[in-house]
Structure 1
Amino acid sequence: MTERKRLPPWHEQFRLPDGRELLIRPIRPEDAAPLVGGFALLGPDEVRQRFLYAMKELSPEQAARLCQPNPQTEFALVAAEPLPPGEALVGAVARASIVPRTREAEYAILVSHFIAGQGLGRKLMQKLVKWSRGKKLDRLYGDVLDSNQAMLQLALSLGFKRTRDDDTPGLVRVVLDLNE
């Protein structure tokens, strides 16, 4: 009988339907350089849908900040090649951040078009929901461009409710009540 290798918390091997293997794991400081390098592979629409505005590059400072979340108030995962952090190409990033002085967190997910549409976004969102519930939060929300139908459909399928932000045309807030 062979013993399965136990993975650390928040680590999960994920096989895409096309057969490629990824490792979902917490983001690490060593991921900053691969994030900066991989940013150039993203299309302008992918960047706009995640950051809600156009960006030509991810600066090393931005990447370093993203790769060092505050464990008390932030949670960030990557889906990467099953190589050591710093060597692995990162194909997706998911993040939740508790809004100061509230019991809610804002989420953001970016899945590269190279691996989109294969269930990875759903898996990452489920992990963000689990983390938020573990923090005993009341709500998890995200602001999504109304043109980002894939993210809106994913959120709605997971129980998020759609609300419109009147201050920002073209933007939809999706909210999950974590107490239901």
Structure 2
Amino acid sequence: MTNENGSHDLVTRTGLVLHVRPVRPGDEKALAEFFSRVAPEDLRFRFLASMKEVGHERLIAMTHVDHHQTEHFLAFAEDGKSIVATAMVACDANFERAEIAISVRANDKHKGVAWELLRYAADHAQAKGVKILEAIESRENNEALGVEREQGFVATSHPDDPSLVQIRKTLA
């Protein structure tokens, strides 16, 4: 369901209601707060690097997307203030392929948030005409790999790094 502010309401398998909307430039502070509540291991999985916090420059890049080739969705809790999860979809210039990356706040894991947000982001990519949706995952990120496999993604070894897996789904 689309709301008057352009957000969509999603309901997870556990009944959690998420209000999802595209990121805005003014979301930097809320996004920094969100990432401070993402487990350190999940930060490493999301950015494929160890870090204690997401820095200002990266937050600026994440809040100032073009909303055409790149979209960054924020999923808010029912209060409309707290970010529960994010999903970024970055398309190539021809919209043939897109890469997706999702993060979920630590205390909102295992509630179906990642599953529902992945489905939503894949639908967005497909509506843009994207033919192949991809993600690069750490081999250790069993939760993400499981969610992606449930939704039809296929895992292959990453050609440049044996610690990584390339996940790919052909969109109809």
Same fold at TM > 0.5: yes
Q: Looking at CA atoms only, which structure, 1 or 2, has the larger radius of gyration?
A: 1
SS at match of 1:152: helix
Tell me, in whole angstroms, the C-alpha distance in 2 between the residues paired with 1:134 and 1:126.
12
| Aligned-residue CA RMSD (Å) | 2.1
Which ranges of 4 or more aligned residues in structure 1 deviate by more than 2 Å?
Answer: 13-17, 19-22, 37-43, 81-84, 99-102
Distance in 2 (CA, whole Å) between partners of 1:97 and 1:137 is 10
Q: Tell me whether 1:79 sits opposite 2:79 in the alignment.
A: no
Q: Say whether the 8 Å CA contact 2:134–2:169 is kept in structure 1.
A: yes
Aligned partner of 2:56 in structure 1 is 60
Name the residue aligned to 1:14.
Answer: 11
Q: Is the 8 A contact 1:33 1:60 kept in 2?
A: no
Q: Could you tell me how far 1:107 is from its partner in structure 2?
A: 0.4
Match of 1:51 in 2: 47
Q: Measure the CA separation in 1 of the matches of 2:158 and 2:133.
A: 16
Q: Among residues 133, 137, 155, which one is paired with 2:126 in the alignment?
A: 133
The total of aligned residue pairs comes to 171
Aligned match for 1:94, one of 87, 91, 97:
87
TM-superposed deviation, 1:63: 1.3
What is the aligned partner in structure 2 of residue 168 from structure 1?
161
Q: Map 1:133-152 onto structure 2 (within 5 A).
A: 133-152=126-145
Instruction: State TM-score, norm by structure 2.
Output: 0.88
Deviation at 1:127, TM superposition (A): 1.1
Gaps of at least 5 residues in structure 1 are none
